[in-house]
């Protein structure tokens, strides 16, 4: 157990079945997770609070506790809930039943076993606004641009310019999702080289962000992102790595509205149909996280809480607001335009990023017919 009095928020997610095809999690499966966690709250002291929601075909569990990150009991609790929901999905022949559960049984931590995890252990401030973001039909690097904007771009975040408690900037931890390497960089001092990495979305993703200052890391932690690549864990295509992220807002962190402002670019991300197409990331209310056009376009849902002594007050559905209509309209125009490219890059991702491919068969069939020039 940690020495300081801390709260830990673990957001653990998995796609264990949906309807029709890969569109949404059926309500009956969300109810299984609700019941699983309700029972846990009643019978033991493991959790302080929880919240269950979905973004498209992914179930998101927000778990509040005092056990720190990577806690075996918390991970096991999530794993068992996903197993129950997967079983129900199998019985009812829902699509992709059990898809993200790569192992038959739990082995101490859900990382590398399929589910995605973002966790943050922190010392609660006088008042602690906490935002949880969940994406569908895309990959972890989808957060690179919005998080860079929120925590590093003075044209996005006014606090970087006019709030003395924010002007020192932030530290970013960036991971190489293929090579299991990480690097910590300081912004604004290293902004340009940081952007060289973050702009390479096929390889690098933001993992964590801290506010600068004298306090401990558990006081300064501002953001935590799930960067697991399911395909890398499984060694083959088993669905997309639809990521989640946690951000703390206000009082020295970017304001709620500055963090949300980062999602107004309609920026292009990888994912969409068959995990193999570029399309705009559309911020939507949870009720609109129903990716149906060409299995998309990719979505992001945001849930805003106030954390108080481990209790999760709220949430507010953050993108359920008319001020995001303009971005949504832009996303729909971009989606329509990108679709006109059919199988052509850059709508279809590059050969290296393709998750389904017929290229080996095509090249094999043409092998004898290729001539030297
Ligand atoms: C994207 C996604 C879907 C599927 C597509 C084909 O992340 O999940 O676009 O890739 O619907 O699915 P299968 O291969 O299951 O028929
Ligand atoms: Mg699915
Ligand atoms: Mg999904």
- Nearest-CA residue for ligand 1 atom 3 is 274
- Nearest-CA residue for ligand 1 atom 6 is 274
Ligand 1: does its nearest atom lie under 6 Å from the Cβ of 299? no
Ligand 1: does its nearest atom lie under 6 Å from the Cβ of 280? no
Domain assignment of residue 108, yes or no: yes
Atom of ligand 1 nearest to the CA of 242: 7
Ligand 1: does its nearest atom lie under 6 Å from the Cβ of 13? no
Residue-wise pLDDT tens digits, 232-275: 666 665 656 899 999 999 999 999 999 999 999 999 999 999 99
Are the CB atoms for 40 and 84 separated by under 8 Å? no
Rounded distance between C-alpha atoms, residue 134 and residue 13, angstroms: 9
DSSP state of 349: P
Domain assignment of residue 342, yes or no: yes
- 103 C-alpha to ligand 1 centroid (Å): 21
Output the pTM of the full model.
0.96
Q: What local confidence, expressed as pLDDT, does residue 214 receive?
A: 94
Residue-wise pLDDT tens digits, 285-344: 999 999 999 999 999 999 999 999 999 999 999 999 999 999 999 999 999 999 999 999
Domain with 94 in it: 7-355
Domain assignment of residue 364, yes or no: no
Ligand 1: does its nearest atom lie under 6 Å from the Cβ of 134? no
Out of 18, 20, 21, 139, give the residue to mutate to test ligand 1, the one with the largest number of ligand atoms within 8 Å of its CB. 21
Q: Which residues contact 222 (CB under 8 A, 6 or more apart)?
A: 151, 170, 209, 210, 211, 247, 248, 253
Q: What local confidence, expressed as pLDDT, does residue 178 receive?
A: 83
Mean pLDDT (whole number) for 198-217: 96
Ligand 1: does its nearest atom lie under 6 Å from the Cβ of 239? yes
Out of 16, 57, 97, 275, give the residue to mutate to test ligand 1, the one with the largest number of ligand atoms within 8 Å of its CB. 275
Rounded distance between C-alpha atoms, residue 239 and residue 94, angstroms: 15
- 182 C-alpha to ligand 1 centroid (Å): 30
Cα distances (Å, whole numbers) of residue 29 to 25, 83, 94, 158: 7, 11, 10, 41
Rounded distance between C-alpha atoms, residue 333 and residue 280, angstroms: 9
- Nearest-CA residue for ligand 1 atom 4 is 274
- 27 C-alpha to ligand 1 centroid (Å): 21
Rounded distance between C-alpha atoms, residue 269 and residue 283, angstroms: 13
Helix (H, G, I), strand (E, B) or coil at 54: strand
Residue-wise pLDDT tens digits, 215-240: 999 999 999 999 987 666 666 656 56
Domain assignment of residue 361, yes or no: no
Q: Which residues contact 25 (CB under 8 A, 6 or more apart)?
A: 17, 18, 54, 56, 57, 58, 59
The candidate with the shortest Cα–Cα distance to 26, out of 70, 73, 63, 58, is 58
3-state percent breakdown (helix, strand, coil) of the chain, nearest 5: 30, 30, 40
Ligand 1: does its nearest atom lie under 6 Å from the Cβ of 275? yes
Give me the half-sphere count of Cα atoms (radius 13 Å) on the Cβ side of residue 25: 30
Angle 92-93-94 from CA coordinates, rounded to 5°: 90
152-183 core/surface letters (b: 16 or more CB in 10 A; e: else): bbeebbebbeeeeebeebbbbbbbebeeeeee
Ligand 1: does its nearest atom lie under 6 Å from the Cβ of 295? yes
Domain assignment of residue 368, yes or no: no
- Domains held by the chain: number: 1
In order, the DSSP letters of 58-85 are EEEEEEEESS-TT-HHHHHHHHHHHHHH
Residue-wise pLDDT tens digits, 134-166: 999 999 999 999 999 999 999 999 999 999 999
Domain assignment of residue 2, yes or no: no
The candidate with the shortest Cα–Cα distance to 304, out of 335, 253, 260, 342, is 260
DSSP state of 53: E
Domain assignment of residue 84, yes or no: yes
Task: Using pLDDT thresholds of 50, 70 and 90, give the confidence band for residue 85.
Answer: very high
Residue-wise pLDDT tens digits, 335-347: 999 999 999 999 9
Domain assignment of residue 320, yes or no: yes
Token pair belonging to 343: 């199988």
């Amino acid at each position: 157990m940690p020495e300081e009095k801390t709260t830990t928020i673990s957001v653990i997610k998995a796609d264990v079945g949906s309807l029709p095809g890969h569109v949404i999690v059926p309500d009956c499966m969300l109810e299984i997770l609700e019941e699983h966690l309700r029972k846990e709250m009643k019978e033991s002291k493991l959790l302080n609070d929880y919240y269950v929601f979905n973004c498209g075909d992914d179930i998101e569990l927000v778990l509040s506790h005092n056990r720190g990150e990577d806690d075996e009991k918390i991970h096991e609790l999530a794993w068992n809930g996903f197993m129950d929901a997967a079983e129900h999905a199998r019985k009812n022949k829902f699509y992709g039943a059990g898809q993200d559960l790569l192992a038959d049984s739990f082995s101490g931590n859900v990382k590398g076993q399929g589910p995605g995890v973002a966790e943050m252990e922190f010392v609660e401030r006088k008042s602690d606004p906490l935002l949880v973001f969940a994406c569908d039909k895309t990959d972890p690097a989808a957060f690179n641009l919005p998080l860079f904007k929120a925590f590093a771009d003075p044209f996005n975040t006014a606090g970087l310019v006019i709030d003395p408690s924010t002007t020192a900037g932030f530290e970013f931890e960036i991971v190489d999702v293929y090579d299991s390497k990480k690097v910590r960089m300081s912004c604004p001092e290293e902004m340009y080289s940081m952007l060289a990495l973050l702009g390479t979305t096929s390889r690098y993703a933001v993992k964590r962000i801290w506010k600068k200052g004298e306090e401990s890391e558990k006081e300064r932690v501002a953001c935590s992102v799930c960067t697991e690549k399911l395909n890398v864990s499984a060694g083959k295509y088993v669905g997309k790595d639809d990521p989640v992220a946690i951000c703390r807002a206000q009082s020295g962190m970017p304001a709620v509205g500055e963090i949300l402002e980062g999602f107004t670019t309609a920026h292009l991300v990888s994912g969409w149909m068959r995990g193999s197409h570029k399309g705009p990331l559309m911020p939507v209310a949870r009720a609109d996280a129903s990716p149906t056009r060409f299995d998309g376009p990719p979505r992001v849902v945001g849930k805003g809480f106030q954390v108080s002594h481990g209790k999760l007050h709220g949430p507010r559905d953050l993108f359920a607001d008319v001020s995001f209509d303009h971005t949504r309209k832009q996303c729909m125009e971009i989606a329509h335009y990108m679709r006109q490219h059919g199988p052509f890059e850059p709508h279809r991702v590059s050969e290296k990023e393709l998750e389904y491919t017929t290229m080996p068969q095509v090249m094999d069939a043409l092998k004898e017919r290729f001539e030297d020039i």
